[in-house]
Structure 1
Amino acid sequence: MSTTVHPTSVIEAGAALHDGVYVGPFCHVGANVELGAGTRLISHASVRGTTKLGSDCVLRPYAAIGGVPQVLGAEESPDSRLEIGDKCVFHENSTVHTGWPKTGGLTKVGVNCLVMVGAHIAHDCQIGSNVVMATNASLAGHVHVGDNVWFGGLAAVHQFSRIGRNALIGGGAIVVEDVIPFGSVIGNHAKLAGLNTVGLKRRGFSKADLHQIRAAYRAVFKGEGLFKDRLASAATAFEGQALAMELIDFIREGGDRPICKPG
């Protein structure tokens, strides 16, 4: 399959375009960019920096991928990198920045992610697979997002926050604390509103799975006594139950980081 580049686009010397890449009108591809097989830049899209896109990605008009981190004094550098997996779609005016070398240097996005109009992924974020970011959702630097997380429109996440897999971030939520796996958060500032039950059912979690997750959730967030004591008791009670321990271990691994709790 041949590669197609519209004559109005600029492909800098050094860029690597694999088989079947399509670059439409008025696009710009930088010298240190690699576009995977079958990736399509529809029009007016920009890919810069030391950036690697997987196969079959789509960049809609005015998507800007691989920009310099929004950090005072940051400049383009080969140590400032971005890696994006296969089959990711970036809609109009969405942005993803490369990492900042002083704090890791790598922004990474998994496979099959959908980034809608105006959404932003900042430097050094680590995004899992099958993540959906609705219109104008924004992630600050160093945010870690697990697989299958959905962000509603206008949601915003504070830097260094962690969001566990299969979580749901409600539209307009302002997240300043870590969000447990399977959780659903809403509001400004966001509070834990329960579990993302609908999303878990859609992804094939069984009734037994949901029962285990609910039991762990109740033990940690709704029991008697101090939160740290409930967490320790739950770790003992649910030992060997993988989904329950995923929720419990996520909290414990955060150390002193605040965790988003029910209002």
Structure 2
Amino acid sequence: MALIHPSAIIDPKAEIAEDVEIGPYAVIGPNVVIGRKTQIGAHTVVEGHTSIGSENRIGHFASVGGAPQDMKYRGEPTKLVIGDRNLIREFTTLHTGTIQDQGITKIGNDNWIMAYVHIAHDCVVGNNTIFSNNAQIAGHVHVGDWAILGGMCGVHQFVRIGEHSMIGGASKLVQDLPPYVIASGAVAEPHGLNAEGLKRRGFSHESITALRQAYKLLYKQNLSFEDAKKAIADLAAEKQSTEAETAEKLNIFHDFIAASQRGIAR
């Protein structure tokens, strides 16, 4: 049986799985689907075409599935899709997508989203990320797996944040942040490889050493962007026969920067 406080307002069309807990004065709209063992805090509003997976914990006073803050939005039935086992703390705002993009805002699994975080329309958040208090990402931002966003950081629309990267607190990120890199500053600049984070996640010494080489090729050797890309691709090819895992990580780094439309934070 779902554990729903009698003061909660649940639209009869909402799909609420067994073992869901919904706190006092929460409001659940008609186009909402909530998976098993998810907890919805007091005074939280879940609206829009929103699908929430299993075993999520959503704190009180959160706003989930609200309309996008986009002046082009005209009430289209766009979506918010949240995966499993996410911790979403109080006063967080998560908005649905727009038809100018794919029409879906996506949040993966096992993310830790702290208080007052804003995730705007059409964002795609991977798995195992950390959003510290008051981190704000604008529309169409993509955040890779295991990325960490420091408190009060702001991310410009359409920016991509690579996997295993880290943004320092109170930083402004206006260009793409490559995988594995730490950046911070009033306008965020790279400050080395996220080596400690990579060690904690089981990256080999060989992989971390090679990624340091790739970082230096991109940022420290005064190479042109095209020459740096070629040098990193050559390094990956060199490692392919003896260190396939390292080569794969180098290719992720290379492919990310090669695909950049906004330019790389430098």
TM-score range, shorter chain: over 0.9
Task: Compute the displacement of 1:218 (Å).
Answer: 1.3
Over residues 95-151 of structure 1, what are the superposed CA-to-partner deviations in whole Å (9 max), with x where a residue is unaligned?
Answer: 100001232210000001111110000000000001110110000000001000111
Please state how far the C-alpha of 1:27 moved relative to its aligned partner: 0.1
Question: 2:174 aligned to 176, 193, 205, which one?
Answer: 176
Q: Distance in 2 between matches of 1:234 and 1:116?
A: 36
Amino acid at match of 2:248: A
SS in 1 for 2:100: helix
| Residues 64 and 93 in structure 2, CA contact (< 8 A), matched pair in contact too | yes
Match of 2:198 in 1: 200
In 2: Cα distance, 1:237 partner to 1:221 partner: 15
Closer, same or farther: CA 227–101 of 1 in aligned 2, 3 Å = closer
Scaled by the length of structure 2, the TM-score of the pair is 0.94
Provide the residue aligned with 1:214 in structure 2: 212
- How many pairs does the alignment contain? 258
Q: Contact 1:113 / 1:129 at 8 angstroms: preserved in 2? A: yes
Partner of 2:262: 257
Deviation at 1:229, TM superposition (A): 1.5
Aligned counterparts of 1:51 and 1:113: Cα–Cα separation in 2 = 17
1:234 Cα deviation after fit: 2.3
Counting only pairs closer than 5 Å after superposition, residues 80-119 of structure 1 correspond to structure 2 as 80-119=78-117
Residue 225 of structure 2: which of 211, 224, 227 is its match?
227
What is the distance in 2 between the residues matched to 1:16 and 1:225? 56
1:248 alignment partner in structure 2? 254
Deviation at 1:73, TM superposition (A): 4.8
Q: What is the one-letter code of the residue matched to 2:209?
A: H
Bigger mean CA deviation after superposition, 167-176 or 100-109: 100-109
Distance 2:88 2:232 in 1: 40
Identify the residue that residue 144 of structure 1 maps to in structure 2: 142
Take 1:146 and 1:64, find their aligned partners in 2: how far apart are those partners? 23
Alignment partners' CA distance in 2, 1:213 and 1:220: 11
Aligned residues: CA RMSD = 1.2
**1:2-41 mapped onto 2 (5 Å cutoff):** 2-41=1-40
| Kept in 1: contact 2:217–2:223 (CA 8 A) | no
Deviations 1:54-78 (A, max 9, x none): 1011111101100000011524432
Per-residue deviation, residues 26-67 of structure 1 (Å, max 9, x unmatched): 000010000000001121111000000010111111011000
CA contact (8 A) 1:134 1:151 kept: yes
* Contact 1:119–1:133 (Cα < 8 Å) also in 2: yes
State the alpha-carbon separation in 1 of the partners of residues 255 and 72 from structure 2: 37
Matched position secondary structure for 2:84: coil
C-alpha distance in 2 between matches for 1:103 and 1:242: 29
Letter in 2 for 1:195: L
TM-score normalised by the chain length of structure 1: 0.95
Does the CA-based 8 Å contact 2:83-2:107 persist in structure 1? yes
The answer (yes or no) to whether the contact 2:180–2:198 under 8 Å persists in 1 is yes
Work out whether 1:157 is the aligned partner of 2:155: yes
Corresponding letter in the other structure for 2:99: P
Quick one: structure 1 residues 73 and 162, their matched pair in 2 at CA, closer, same or farther if it must change by over 3 Å? closer
The whole-number CA distance in structure 2 between the counterparts of 1:47 and 1:164 is 29
Structure 1: gaps of 5 or more residues: none
The percent identity for this pair of structures is 37
Do residues 59 (structure 1) and 65 (structure 2) align? no
